Chains A and B, each alone.
Chain A
Amino acid sequence: MNDGLAAEFEWLREPFGGLCDQLQGWLQVTARTVGVKEFSVSGRVKETDSFVRKLIKKPHGHYQDPLRDMVDKIGVRIDVLYEADADRLCQAIESENDAFTLLRAPDHKITKLGAATLGYLGVHFDVRPSNVPDGIPPEYGLAEIQVRTYTQAAWAMASHDLIYKLQDILAIPTAVERRIHRLMALVELFDDQVGQARDAIVTHPDFPAARVIDALEGRIVRFTSSARDPELTKIVVDTILEGMDDHEVARLPGLLEEWAAENEGKLGEIYVAYSDDPRHPLLRQPEALLVFHELGQGLTRKNGLRQAWETRLPLVYLDGLAGVWGEPY
């Protein structure tokens, strides 16, 4: 029986690949839209022999129709830095969208573990993509999306190896079991502490620039995926903020959010037009958004920006951004 299924699966692998690409593209766009700064998207269609091996492992009758019921034959994954990012992504996946519908409630691994058990904490979604490519019977066009932190991903990789080694050992020595539990606890603690440290930095009253930079970084990823230089961002943002009073700086992150939402269309057009234009080295940096914001806040702010800028930075880069934004000096 498996031979016929294997042949059919092999034949479907190519169109399944198209579906996999679609979902990866959607995840990349969505991650940027919800302001996830650091992420990695990957995807794969199971190898045919892996598909068959899974059939062999499962008890007879587990899958009524394996090509339909083995949802993870197509799997896409997004790994992110912070748990808060994973939460935002999960919300986006659960929201109504054009790309897919959820087959069932998301599988939050933590829910299954309960309060007293440690283990893998990713979130898995079974989805039915909206645009199933030609060549795939509609009922087979199902896939799995996984959302994890990088730490959870690291644990998943390590545990994958450990668990299969341990399966043959009926009685795990207490010391080894304890060691594994310590590792799993560390994964949870690590993510928790990283998130808290980040929140502490961003909200610390002595580092107002951090909140501004955080707001800018959360926005720029919507428009460009270019590598950024955080050190330069700090220099430029500090330079611009020096010309503002504390009250203005405190209000700035909120104002930037509002302004960016209002100017989403214009920003999108600009970043598309300049995607292959290397002449403005600051354009793909988060601080470009702060410059654009200040250019549109009236003559006083515009001139103040220039005065602050020339104390530390070459004017040619400010003039370049001003030309791009349509507010030349």
Chain B
Amino acid sequence: MGTPDMGRFFVSDIIVHEIPKRYAAEDDRDLELSEFVVDVGDVVRNFFKERITTTITRYGVDVTVDEGRDQRVPDWVRKHLNGGADLVEMSQDMARHLFKSQDGVQPEGLLVLVDSTLEGEPALAILKLQKEEGARVQRTARGSQSSLNVEHLRELILGQKTRVFKAGLFTLGHGGSVVGWVSDEQVKEFANFFLHQFLGCELAKQPAQTTREFFVITREFINEEVAEPEQKAMIYEALQVEVRSSKDTLSTSEFIATHVPDEYHDTLEQIYADRHLPSGEFTKDTSRIKPSELKSRRGRTRKGLTITGDSNLFDELVSEDERNGERVTVIRDRIITYS
């Protein structure tokens, strides 16, 4: 599906509900829920637009409805996007559902529903936030003197650097199905409560599939688009290092910026977009990449030189030839560093 044009994402209404912590033994509780939409003004509306844009662009992954899960949220979203559900009532239902879905592990937080449009069509963003603490400095006066006072705030909900922030953005796809993007800035917890139990969704592509596609597509790019053998080798090596590393995530944009020469940035970015890879970060799962694909090949010459490298590169750059009646190994490359 790819990332939508978030420049055409606009917020119209915002409603916020406080979701207390639910203890494991607690069955139900009357929640004090918001009962009307407050006009927050353009500045707040645009602030939410920009914050949701950033999180969906950087961390968003395509999701679809998982019919094997609780379908209350997708049903409410579908009804609302079709014009059939009032924002306040639906958000209250969603808040109660979120509270009941919690299993005692999740901390108290806020559920924020953002009624919006995306590329001219109705859209709904669902955010789960935690309150944060902060400090505010304000000038204060005593008689003719002035000074700065530091005030402690416990009620901050969303700043430019808020980390505990999960967001889903939904719209109607072909045939009226609910489609969307979900981001979790704490990516480790992605396969989690918010996505599955609460939203009733699943990743459109599993991390193992995305990781494999990233690996294969990048390898194809190196073979087909990169002309210089030195550059090929450098990107191959970086790809292997990234995939083998202990990091939990990969990022297409970071890979391009860090490991790909400038002249190929646009080409690879376009290839990733055309093949529907996330434009930013995604969870890494190498289970569908065969160990042999990550294995280096090693060759040793009769006189004791060792050549090590990616097996594909090996096939491409190393060949046997006969010169002046003697069998020789030809390596179409150049040594650029010695150790």
As a 0/1 sequence over residues 10 to 44 of chain B, the CB contacts with chain A under 8 angstroms (1 = contact) are: 10000000000000000000000000000001110
Interface residue ranges of A304-329 to B (CB < 8 Å):
320, 323-328
Measured between beta carbons, the chain B residues less than 8 angstroms from A299 are 253, 256-257, 265-266, 269
Contact status B6-A326, CB under 8 Å? yes
Cβ contact of A326, chosen from B45, B57, B263, B265, cutoff 8 A: B57
- The docked-state distance in angstroms from the alpha carbon of A196 to that of B286 is 66
For the residues of B in contact with A, the DSSP-based class is helix
Contact status A324-B43, CB under 8 Å? no
Q: How many A-B residue pairs have CB under 8 A?
A: 64
As a 0/1 sequence over residues 42 to 54 of chain B, the CB contacts with chain A under 8 angstroms (1 = contact) are: 1101110110011
Contact status A274-B42, CB under 8 Å? yes
Nearest CB on A from B114, distance (A): 14
- Most chain B CB within 10 A, of A270, A274, A303, A323, is at A323
Measured between beta carbons, the chain B residues less than 8 angstroms from A206 are none
Whether A165 sits at the interface, judged by CB under 8 Å, is no
- The docked-state distance in angstroms from the alpha carbon of A266 to that of B10 is 11
Whether A298 sits at the interface, judged by CB under 8 Å, is yes
Measured between beta carbons, the chain A residues less than 8 angstroms from B41 are 276
Nearest CB on B from A276, distance (A): 5
Whether A279 sits at the interface, judged by CB under 8 Å, is yes
- The docked-state distance in angstroms from the alpha carbon of A208 to that of B10 is 36
Measured between beta carbons, the chain B residues less than 8 angstroms from A298 are 265-266, 269-270
Number of residues from A at the complex interface, CB < 8 A: 22
Whether A277 sits at the interface, judged by CB under 8 Å, is yes
Measured between beta carbons, the chain B residues less than 8 angstroms from A111 are none
Contact status A266-B8, CB under 8 Å? yes
Q: Which residue of B lies closest to A296 (CB)?
A: B7
Contact status A277-B42, CB under 8 Å? yes
- The docked-state distance in angstroms from the alpha carbon of A303 to that of B253 is 11
Q: Which residue of B lies closest to A270 (CB)?
A: B7
Answer whether A326 and B10 are a contact pair too, CB < 8 Å, given A274-B42, A275-B42, A299-B257.
no
Contact status A303-B257, CB under 8 Å? yes
Q: 10 tightest CB-CB pairs across the interface, nearest first?
A: A326-B7, A326-B6, A298-B266, A323-B50, A300-B265, A299-B265, A328-B54, A299-B269, A276-B42, A325-B7
Residue contacts A-B, CB under 8 angstroms, 26 given: A266-B7, A269-B10, A273-B42, A273-B45, A273-B46, A273-B49, A276-B41, A277-B46, A279-B43, A279-B47, A298-B265, A298-B270, A299-B253, A299-B256, A303-B257, A323-B50, A323-B53, A324-B7, A326-B5, A326-B8, A326-B53, A327-B6, A327-B57, A328-B53, A328-B54, A328-B57
Binding site for A on B (CB under 8 A): 5-10, 41-43, 45-47, 49-50, 53-54, 57-58, 253, 256-257, 262-263, 265-266, 269-270
